Structure formats: C-alpha cells, structure tokens
Amino acid sequence: MSRFTVVYRVRADAETIEARARAIAVEQSVEMPLEAIDDASILENIVGKVEAIEDRGGGMFDVRIALATATVGDDAGQLLNMVFGNTSLHEDVALVDVAVPAAFGGPHHGIDGLRHRVGAFGRALTCSALKPQGLPPARLAVIAERFARGGIDFIKDDHGLADQAYSPFVERVAAITGAVGHTRYVPSLSGDLDQLRRQVDIARLHGIDMVLIAPMIVGWTTFQTLVREYPEIAFLAHPTMGGVARIVPELLIGKLFRMLGADAVIFPNHGGRFGYTPETCRRLAEHARAPWNNMRPSMPVPAGGMTLERVPEMLDFYGPDAMLLIGGSLLAARERLTEATAEFTSVVAQHTYR
C-alpha cells in the first residue's frame, strides 16, 4: 500500500526520542494502542511507520514518518487531519514538511496564468489593497480608480472586507469593476460554501477572473471544492490565521496553500509588521515556485507593512517571479495616491535583475 512522508520537529532528549516518534506515528494513523488491533493488514498497511530520526541539536529532532495514502484519499481537510490533527495539540511537536500525495493537483493557472492576465512578462507583478474597513462601495471604487490610473496590476479587497452592511459584496463588486478599467480587481470571498459559490458567480458576471480567499478561515476542503468547481478562476490565498499552530510558515503558506490550488500566496515579508526572518521568506518563496509533483508554481506575494523605499531590495531578494503588495504605504499618500502608485509600478518595470 502506498505511503507519503511527513516530517515533524520534536523537542525531546536522546533517551526518549525513539519512543516519542513511535507515539506520533500511532497518533497520526490509528490513534489507539497497537496491542488492541487484531487485524494484521492494519498493523502492516495503516499504522504509521517511523522512517528516520535526525538530531538537529539543542534537544530538537526531525522525525520522518510514513503515513498510508489511503487514510487521506483526495480530501485536503482529511490530509491536514491525518498529518497534524491530534499531534497539533502537543506543544513539543511542529509540522515541518509533507510529501503530498499525487491526488492533489495544485493551481490551475499559477505564475504564467497571472502574467497572461495582465500582459506582464519579464518583471515582477504589482498589487495593492483596498482599505480601510468601514468605507462604502463608492468610496472604495474611488480608491481603486486611483490605483488603476497609477498602473497597478492587481487591486485586492482587504481580507477583512466581507459582506458587511456598509459594503455589501454585490454593490462593492459592481462599483469597483466599473472603476478600474483593465486593472484586475480581486474581491474577497467570505461565508459558507453556498455563499462562496454565489460570490464567485457574481464576480464572474462582472468579468472577474481572480478572487481572494483565506484557506484557514473557509476551510481546506471548501477551498479545494471551489478550485475544482471554478477552474477558470485564479485564487489569491491570504495567510490570516496562518500562525495559530505549529506548522512552519514555509510549509503551510508556501507549499500546502499551493497544493490546495492557490495561484498566488500572500505572506508577511521580513522587516515589516510581522516577525518572519529573511530565511523563512526565502524558503517560503522557494516552496511556492519550485518543481513539485508536476504542480504549477504559485506566485509568492510578500506583503505586510512594505514601503516604496524597499521595492528595489524586495525585487533583488525575490526576483521577477513575485508579486509585490504595498497597501497602507501607498494609501498614506492620500491625494497623491495615483502618483505614489505610478512611482511603485515604474520602479518595478525598470528594475534590472542581477
């Protein structure tokens, strides 16, 4: 029976790590005492197997465990459950890597698809966000129009924009699509699966071909369902709630969001409002773009308190296959929003990669 491997980083000592590894293998497969199982095929084919233990130093070990592919099927939520469900409740374990089964196909469009949407090749893409919360659709449309005149590639909703009374989804989509011309508007989806489907249908009626979604909020299986049902739509994944458990961000955002079907993945760039290191950001971008299971690469989207002054540095760090997202720093220009946006897009367009 086929298996896939999962890597856990475990805090333990040399005397107990082997027993701890076996306990994780059991917890993440059959979740019961092995002596209570009287079916030899389950013991052989379903119980997790410890493949390797690597001492990382400082009381930390990487434990590689092979889990049965049959326990997952093709359900992304069940994959998360089997690789880290109960073990996420143990404070001594972090999820480091997953060799995802081939049943998960990744994005429909990826980096090349996003480039073709805006006709931009050989350079990084640009993006900004509609803020703040509380504005009505007409006010958001004015901001979007100013961004568009500055030459931005994509304008996304702030991820907190949902279907609030002050900015209903239907009215917001209609107002903003009428204001942005050829710039791609990316509305934020929210609600249960039926609501999400209705919102995607509304977006499609307005010619929208990319939406923003938060996988950790809507749920992995729900996100996977939307990707399968709307193959013509590109999905920009937002990392909100991505820090709630011990799954390393380069795996969760860079690799697993891509597995779910995210064509682009937003993440906090180092040196901004969040605490990611340059090394974490580099690994995350590499996971999003690297060859993997014949999946299309996802576009890494560094964000989170970025400024115009940091654009050249970010371009050097991530290279051309990235989408730079600057929101608040541009909005702070107020009356000069279009000019600040034009400066941003000009720097990106003129950057020479080393």
Tell me: domain 110-350, CATH 3.30.300.90, correct?
Answer: no
Q: How crowded is residue 57: how many other Cβ atoms within 10 Å of its Cβ?
A: 6
Structure tokens at 232: 């013509």
C-alpha–C-alpha distance, residues 207 and 185, integer Å:
10
Tell me the two tokens of residue 113.
């698809």
Helices (H), 119-256: 137-149, 169-177, 193-205, 215-218, 220-229, 249-251
Class of domain 3-98: alpha beta
Q: Domain boundaries in the chain? A: 3-98, 110-350
Calculate the alpha carbon distances from 263 to 47, 109, 298, 306, 351 in Å. Answer: 34, 6, 5, 22, 24
pLDDT tens, per residue, the chain with 354 residues: 799 999 999 999 999 999 999 999 999 999 999 999 999 999 999 999 999 999 999 999 999 999 999 999 999 999 999 999 999 999 999 999 999 888 899 999 999 999 999 999 999 999 999 999 999 999 999 999 999 999 999 999 999 999 999 999 999 999 999 999 999 999 999 999 999 999 999 999 999 999 999 999 999 999 999 999 999 999 999 999 998 779 999 999 999 999 999 999 999 999 988 889 999 999 999 999 999 999 999 999 999 989 999 999 999 999 999 999 999 999 999 999 999 999 999 999 999 776
Handedness of CA 29, 221, 299, 318 (dihedral sign): negative
Residue type, 301: V
C-alpha span between 258 and 279 (Å, rounded)? 19
CB contact at 8 A, 3 and 47: no
CA–CA dist 172, 176 (Å, integer): 6
What is the C-alpha separation between 296 and 300, in angstroms, rounded? 13
E-strand spans in 83-205?
A: 93-98, 125-130, 154-157, 184-186
Q: pTM surpassing 0.75?
A: yes
Element (H, E) at 60: strand 60-68
- Among all chains, which residue has been given the structure tokens 């690799």? 255
Instruction: Report CA Rg, the chain.
Output: 22
C-alpha 331/C-alpha 337 separation (Å) is 6
Give the SS3 label for residue 114.
helix
